[in-house]
Amino acid sequence: MSDIYHECGVAAVYHLPGQGRSPLCPDQGPEETSRLIPRMLLDIQNRGQLAAGITSYHPRRSQLIDTHKDVGTVNEVFRLAHQTDYEKLMREYSGPAAIGHVRYATCGPDDRSYAQPFERHHLQKHKWFSFAFNGQLANYQELRDKLLSDGDHHLARETDTEIFMHELSRELSGDRRPTLLEMIRNVNARLDGAYTLALLNASGDMLVARDPLGIKPLCWAKEGPLFAAASESVALLNLGFKPENIRSLEPGGAITITDGRFSVGRFVESSRSAHCFFEWVYFANVASTLDDRSVYLSRTALGEELARLELESGDVSLTDAVVVPVPDTSKAAADAMAFRLGIPSREGLIRNRYSGRTFIESGQGRRRKAQTKYTPLREVLEGRRIFLVEDSIVRSTTMKVLLNRIREYGGAKEIHVRVACPPIVAPCFYGIDMSTVDELFAPKFLQGRELTLEIQAEMAEALEADSLRYLPIDSIARAIRFREDQLCRACITGAYPTPHGQQLYQIALKNAGNGAARTYERQLAETTG
């Protein structure tokens, strides 16, 4: 599934003072710790390909914290293919502490000013900070209106990241000197939504925090003097941290480094979690482990669920059948399904890794991108009965193109689409770019009804597939090994874990069929118009 995207990922590193060199970086001094950020961002590039950036801290630099960011991939922004340019950047932004960010946006245009980290300058060091933010605030409109109501505040961008910056700044205003834990606790009390945060100030203090529901993932590790955190565990594993030392930050948890002292604690007690199930289904790197659940094993379990349903129905012959994954996130599920069915799993679609991502375009542009993104292998597909395994179907643009190409260029005899996820029936207001009901494929057919074989047959006809099967909702919790009430499943159930998320869904339902504006934009129009 390649026609939706996540908006960002965060990373942080800190070489704690007075403890010598880290054995993980034997060739680098503590002041070169910031060099680890581009490596980490490469491992979470799947979370955002629009922009990337770094803020580093160096106590002997006139710019105590300094930020480099731009539109582009990690390779482009950090000039990784140009050794001289890269080395110059790393020297300029060297330091014992740094935070980093990769971005794709759910709101705001595609220009450098929206790239993160966001840096706020101030004469006082504890008020001069930079932060990287992953998530989305469902009560953005309420916070925006409150900020602008007194006439003393100005917002330069239409993004909740700037709202977050103002909320952090408010806690530092006047003579206030809250601890980092107190600051995030006070800010959180005004927020409704999902976030992970990495903050660095000009005193060299760092804060890493995760929202009280744990909607967005955040992993961390510490070995000797080196601390690191990232949206996914794979970024820490590839730095050399031992797997047993990599853990997920608890919902409502925070890590602070103040005056060189490291501490793990909670800024708020959390009675429940609402982890985004889509991390395990699609977004996260298959090599990651999030909240003690392996992404690979979760996707394998989803494939086994698909196989179980296939064996129970028995309505498609397995003679001359082959399972084909849609690259790359569907492969684990496809392999597991094929193994249980006793038929081959083959890479009948080859992904062109240099074609760009289809979500960058819209409408006809997305279709053209999809046509060049996958090449069908006729040697695998011709004359075969294909079980095409996809992790999810959101807008269906890519799926329609794929089915056409598999028939026309691959010569497949039959194509049976199997989706390792239930139908997406509701928008996301916590950081996935699907904000309206109209843009979704499934609601047009379901219209509030339960999923039936007849409805799936109608969907298959619309896609021009021979058949279509989704997983039932209860299979998700089983595969990921969380209870249903520990997951955010709003996009497949319409039940949101926060009040403002539920309110936005009602706006989305009300405006279904009235145009393609994002629900945020609808809310703004209804409030100000």
Residue 215 lies in a domain: yes
Residues 191 and 312 in one domain: no
Tokens of 403: 């089915």
Q: What local confidence, expressed as pLDDT, does residue 508 receive?
A: 94
Mean pLDDT lowest for which of 35-49, 360-374, 389-403, 413-427? 360-374
Strand partners, 67: 55
Binning pLDDT at 50, 70 and 90, where does residue 157 land? confident
Q: In whole angstroms, what is the distance from residue 3 CA to residue 432 CA?
A: 11
Residues 383 and 263 in one domain: no
Residues 252 and 310 in one domain: no
How many beta carbons lie within 10 A of that of residue 432, not counting itself? 23
In single-letter form, the type of residue at position 353 comes to R
Please report where in the chains the tokens 């608890």 appear, as a residue: 250
Give the largest Cα separation in the chain, rounded: 75
As a three-state string, the secondary structure of 174-233 is: CCCCCCHHHHHHHHHCCCCEEEEEEEEECCCCEEEEECCCCCCCCEEEEECCEEEEECCC
Instruction: Residue 246: give the domain boundaries.
Output: 8-273
Which of 8, 25, 219, 491 is labelled catalytic? Answer: 8
Strand partners, 209: 197, 254
Tokens of 523: 């809310």
Residues 219 and 313 in one domain: no
Residues 266 and 360 in one domain: no
Task: Quote the pTM value.
Answer: 0.92
Q: In whole angstroms, what is the distance from residue 59 CA to residue 499 CA?
A: 43
How many beta carbons lie within 10 A of that of residue 296, not counting itself? 17
Instruction: For residue range 290-308, list pLDDT tens digits in order.
Output: 999 999 999 999 999 999 9
| Last-in-domain residue among 222, 242, 273 | 273
| Last-in-domain residue among 212, 244, 273 | 273
Reply yes or no: is the peptide bond before residue 117 cis, omega within 30 of 0: yes
Residues 204 and 250 in one domain: yes
Residue 2 lies in a domain: no
Q: Give the pairing of strands 261-266 and 219-223.
A: unpaired
Q: Find the mean pLDDT for residues 167-187.
A: 95
Q: Find the mean pLDDT for residues 64-74.
A: 96
H or E, element range at 135:
strand 129-137
| Last-in-domain residue among 238, 273, 308 | 273
Q: Does residue 40 contact residue 54 with C-beta atoms inside 8 Å?
A: no
Q: Does residue 475 contact residue 458 with C-beta atoms inside 8 Å?
A: no
Q: In whole angstroms, what is the distance from residue 424 CA to residue 261 CA?
A: 45
Collapsed DSSP state (helix, strand, coil) of residue 350: strand
Residue 282 lies in a domain: no
Instruction: For residue range 421-435, list pLDDT tens digits in order.
Output: 999 999 999 998 888
**What phi and psi values does residue 297 have, to the nearest 5 degrees?**
-65, -35
Instruction: For residue range 101-140, list pLDDT tens digits in order.
Output: 999 754 545 568 789 999 999 999 999 999 999 999 999 9
Residues 366 and 468 in one domain: yes
Burial 259-283 (b: 16+ CB within 10 A, else e): eeeeeeebbbebeebbbbbbbbbbb
Instruction: For residue range 82-91, list pLDDT tens digits in order.
Output: 999 999 999 9
In single-letter form, the type of residue at position 27 comes to D
Q: What local confidence, expressed as pLDDT, does residue 63 receive?
A: 96
State the CATH number of the domain containing residue 100. Answer: 3.60.20.10
Binning pLDDT at 50, 70 and 90, where does residue 399 land? very high
Residues 222 and 128 in one domain: yes
Q: Is residue 421 flagged as an active site residue? A: no
Residues 353 and 420 in one domain: yes
Residues 205 and 142 in one domain: yes
Instruction: Give the mean pLDDT of the chain.
Output: 91
Residue 266 lies in a domain: yes
As a three-state string, the secondary structure of 282-315 is: HHCCCCCEECCEEHHHHHHHHHHHHHHHHHHHCC
Q: Does residue 56 contact residue 101 with C-beta atoms inside 8 Å?
A: no
Residue 285 lies in a domain: no
Q: What local confidence, expressed as pLDDT, does residue 370 receive?
A: 65
Q: In whole angstroms, what is the distance from residue 239 CA to residue 186 CA?
A: 34
Residue 287 lies in a domain: no
pLDDT over 60 at 174, yes or no? yes
- Beta strand ranges found along 267-422 (DSSP E): 275-276, 289-290, 293-294, 321-325, 349-351, 374-376, 385-390, 414-419
Residues 218 and 342 in one domain: no
- The residues, any chain, with a CB within 8 Å of residue 476's CB and separated by 6 or more, are 277, 281, 302, 421, 422, 487, 489, 492
Q: How many domains does the chain have?
A: 2
Measured CA angle at 180 (ends 175, 183), to 5 deg: 65
Residue 278 lies in a domain: no
List C-alpha distances in Å: 202 to 19, 63, 95, 206, 367.
21, 9, 12, 10, 47
State the CATH number of the domain containing residue 350. Answer: 3.40.50.2020
Mean pLDDT lowest for which of 135-149, 228-242, 298-312, 492-506? 135-149
Residues 235 and 304 in one domain: no
Residue 102 lies in a domain: yes
Q: In whole angstroms, what is the distance from residue 337 CA to residue 332 CA?
A: 9
Q: What local confidence, expressed as pLDDT, does residue 199 receive?
A: 98
Where does residue 125 rank: exposed (0-12), middle (13-18), buried (19+ CB within 10 A)?
Answer: middle
Q: What local confidence, expressed as pLDDT, does residue 283 receive?
A: 92
Q: What local confidence, expressed as pLDDT, does residue 148 receive?
A: 86
**What phi and psi values does residue 377 have, to the nearest 5 degrees?**
-95, 105
Q: What local confidence, expressed as pLDDT, does residue 4 receive?
A: 54
